[in-house]
Structures are given as structure tokens and as C-alpha cells.
Structure 1
Amino acid sequence: MGTDNTAANDKKNLGSHTLTCPTDEAVKQFKYMRRASAFFIGGAGDKESYYGFGPKNNVARAKKSFDDSVVKADYFPGVTSYHLGYNQVIGEENIKLNVLQGLCKSDAIYIVGHSLGGWNGAHLSSHLSSLGYSVKMLITLDPVGVGALVGGISNIYPDTPQPSAGLWINILAKSSDANLSDWIAGIGEQWRVESGPNVNSIMDVNHESAGIMYTTVLADGKSALNYMINSVNKHFRGEM
């Protein structure tokens, strides 16, 4: 599933044993530990080239901020993060291969999607929820996908997402100093969400700046990263 590793695998020695689902009946030497999986889903030209543009690894910057925070925590062996492209989370076969393969129903699931990855990531949240998985949080960073043109040239869902998550944070980029990434996002058309998110914010930032959107403190005094780390903390304390 994906190509990324658990944050700071080498900080503690877990021997030759791996963390498993509680339904796994094989004999293990370690007591079952809570687990969390975070999927960082990039947009066009993020993880792979998009018509000659990229890869830029924009959402990987957000993932690194999360990984760095997790490394400092005692629970880090139970947290795994993945960097995926938007076209890796659409359709049953892709989801089975890139998302479901290492999950069990008791895992806490976090989805962070940028641009087209926000659009497909929002769809992924509802799909996983319908299968009985616990999507604790969905974070959409300047999601794009409304336009008919982008739908014709990109592997995205044609219908507007109906997200399903314990908490949904949405951030719309509206830069006072637009650059090429804002122009490209304009072609795809931003998904201007008017209702649904628990936290809905507009930020003066360029479309490409996924890492900045993820780590910048919002009006309520917390960043999307803060929300996510706090939720993971509660999950491992058994509070949610």
C-alpha cells in the first residue's frame, strides 16, 4: 500500500514483529496496540507528471510536518502515513491496492487531500465510511474538480463529493499575489464549499502551498495539523 514508510521507523526497535489487526489470530509476542493511518493525497502534477507538469510533491510537505510531529510522540510505531496521487484513490481496484490492503476496521483513518486530491479524497472518505472504517478526519486543501474541462482530462469522480468523517476541515486558497498554480487551479475550478465542513477557512496563499495551508494557524487558534495531531493523541489515549 503506497510507497512511504511509517514515520521514523528506526527510532525504536520493534524486533521482527509488526503491528497487526486484532482479528489476526496468529500468535504475536506484542500486545495489540492502537493504530492510525494518514493518507496524504496530492493533486495534478503532485506525485507524478501531469501533461508535462510536475511532479511537485506539494502535499508531501504537509505529510512531512505530520511525520515530524508524530516522531516526537511515544505512539509513533502505531502511526503510518502515505503519499498518494489523486488517481490512486479512485475506483475499487485502486482503493483496494493503495488504501485497504493494510487497514483493519479498528484503525483511525485520516485523509488530507490537496487540489484534485481533495476532491477524490473527499469521495474516499465516504467510500471508506460506507465500508465500516472509521474516518476520524478529512482535510481538504484548496480542493479542485468542479470544472467540466478538468473532469474530461483527469481521473476524478464526476459527481460532487459527499464527505463522511468525524471532522472535516476545508481551506480555500485565495491569493493576493497569484502565480501559475492559481491559474491552473482556476482551470480545474475550485470547489467552493459553502456548507458541510466543521471548519471552513479562506487563506491568502497560493494554490500550490499545501504545506502552508496545513500548518498555518486558523482563526480559532489551531492549524489543520494541530487538529489532526490532537485527534491522534486522543485516539491513542482511548478517548475517541
Structure 2
Amino acid sequence: MAAENPALKGCQRLVVAHDLTCKTDGTVKQATVAPKKIVLFFVGGAGDKESYYGTGPNNNVADVLRIFVKNMEVEGICADNYDAHHIGYNYFFNDEDLKKNVLDKIADMTTPVYIVGHSLGGWNGAHLSAVLTDRGYRVSFLATLDPVGEGKIVWGISNIYRQEPKPKAEYWVNVRADAKDWNFSDLVADFGEQWDMKSGPNMNGRVDVNHADAGYIYTRALPSGKSARDVLMQSVVKHFKGRQCA
């Protein structure tokens, strides 16, 4: 026979095998709640995920994804706590692709979503942050790495949004590549016209890095002393509250 719980003296037993906490029991009860799994979208630009008019795929933003995975390993956060997806800038341009490549990857509307976009992926990724937020999803973080898309010519040959993005995220970092020693990728970015927003990001700055070097754009410190990588990882570590692999 189970021993009687003194704290429940005078309380009714609703089910034979289980006692309810009495209303007069004011002791603090603790319950362990696991942090929600997060989902990240690393959005590549022209010629990144697939060929773009004979150029690529170059997988530039894949370098950012690899850096993220290594950083998570250093922090001791297990891979089963997050889903990271490398997608192209044109993978969510219509409702069907949006559902297949983005919405179906998000568990529910409370799942923290992180978006890191480079070049045309920065432009469309910024739009994606607004699309998701307007649908009720939680966009915890947005990084636009040298976003490109203001040029009218690139509008005509690429599946990008024509309006200037109006991002909606809990925190937005924008990094402009401003290399002193230009290469061909900087000419391409100049052709597509870099998005030089005047306001909006929580953190905004320029780095002396070539346009194609997404990994360096992501990790190079801005004048504030922090990089896009630093801010993203601080957000992730805070979300998991130091929880590490068993």
C-alpha cells in the first residue's frame, strides 16, 4: 500500500493511483523543459546552390553553414537540436516552393527561425523574414551578407522580389562587403547593385572582404567589435541556456 502524502491531507483523491497537489500546498515545484529545436536557412545567391547563366554552383554560403556547424560543436550543442538547410535564393519565390523548401521544414510557429542570406540570397532572405513573420512564424535572427538586388537588370533575369525588402526579425545584422582590392565577384555585385539601406538593421557595417567570400563576411568583426557570427551564436547559446550534449 502506498504511503500517504502528508501535504495532501484533507484533499480529495480523484484517481486511485494518483494524488493531486493540494491547493494549500504552496511549495515550489520545478519541471525541466527542454529548449525548442531551432531551424536555420542559409540562403545562397546567384550561382551558389545551382548554376546561374553558366556560372557555378559555387556554394559560397555553404562555407557559412560549415562554420556554424563547427561553432555548434565547440559549444557542445548536439546536431539533433537544430536543422540547418542550404537553399537557393529562388527556392521560395512562389507559394509551392515556399511550402516545400521552407514551411515544411519548420516544426511549428513557435520554432525559432534563423535566416542567413548572401548576395541575392540576402535580398530574398530579408523578404523571407517578413513573409514568415506575417504568417505568424517567429524569426529570431536575420543576417544579410552583402545583399544584392537593387539593379533593374538583375530583376529581369533573376527570381527576386522587386520591392526593397522590409525585414521582420527579432535581430537583424547587415554586413556590406567593401573590398579595397576588387575581384570579379565584386564587379558582379556591383552589376546587381548592392543594397545599401540607410536604416533598419540592429547592427550594420562594412568589412574589407570580397563579395564572394561569404564565410569571411560572416566572421569578420564590424566596427562594433562583433561579427554576424558572434551575434548569431550568442542568440543560439542563449536559447539553449548552456544545455550541451549528454
TM-score bin (small chain): 0.7 to 0.9
TM-score (norm 1): 0.83
Indicate if the aligned counterparts of 1:128 and 1:135 stay in contact, CA closer than 8 A. Answer: yes
Aligned residue number for residue 102 of structure 2? 99
The gaps in structure 1 that reach 5 residues or longer are: 1-30
Residue identity matched to 2:217:
M
Alpha-carbon distance between aligned partners in 2 of 1:206 and 1:33, rounded to the nearest angstrom: 37
Q: CA deviation at 1:90?
A: 1.6
| Structure 1 segment 126-137 matched on structure 2, within 5 A | 126-137=130-141
Aligned residues between the structures: 208
Secondary structure of the structure 2 residue equivalent to 1:87: coil
| Structure 1 segment 1-240 matched on structure 2, within 5 A | 33-72=35-74, 73-103=76-106, 104-237=108-241
Alpha-carbon distance between aligned partners in 1 of 2:200 and 2:34, rounded to the nearest angstrom: 35
The gaps in structure 2 that reach 5 residues or longer are: 1-32
The alignment's C-alpha RMSD in Å is 1.4
String of CA shifts for 1:47-67, please: whole Å, max 9, x gaps: 111000111111110111001
Residue identity matched to 2:228:
A
Quick check: which has more Rg, 1 or 2? Answer: 2
Indicate if the aligned counterparts of 1:43 and 1:86 stay in contact, CA closer than 8 A. Answer: yes
Indicate if the aligned counterparts of 1:90 and 1:124 stay in contact, CA closer than 8 A. Answer: no
Moved over 4 A (4+): none
TM-score (norm 2): 0.81
Secondary structure of the structure 2 residue equivalent to 1:137: strand
Indicate if the aligned counterparts of 1:168 and 1:199 stay in contact, CA closer than 8 A. Answer: yes
Q: CA deviation at 1:78?
A: 1.2
Alpha-carbon distance between aligned partners in 2 of 1:36 and 1:237, rounded to the nearest angstrom: 13
Percent identity at matched positions? 50
Q: CA deviation at 1:220?
A: 2.1
String of CA shifts for 1:22-46, please: whole Å, max 9, x gaps: xxxxxxxxx8651111100000000
String of CA shifts for 1:79-105, please: whole Å, max 9, x gaps: 111100001022211110001102111
Alpha-carbon distance between aligned partners in 2 of 1:74 and 1:144, rounded to the nearest angstrom: 33
Q: CA deviation at 1:218?
A: 2.0
Alpha-carbon distance between aligned partners in 2 of 1:192 and 1:87, rounded to the nearest angstrom: 21
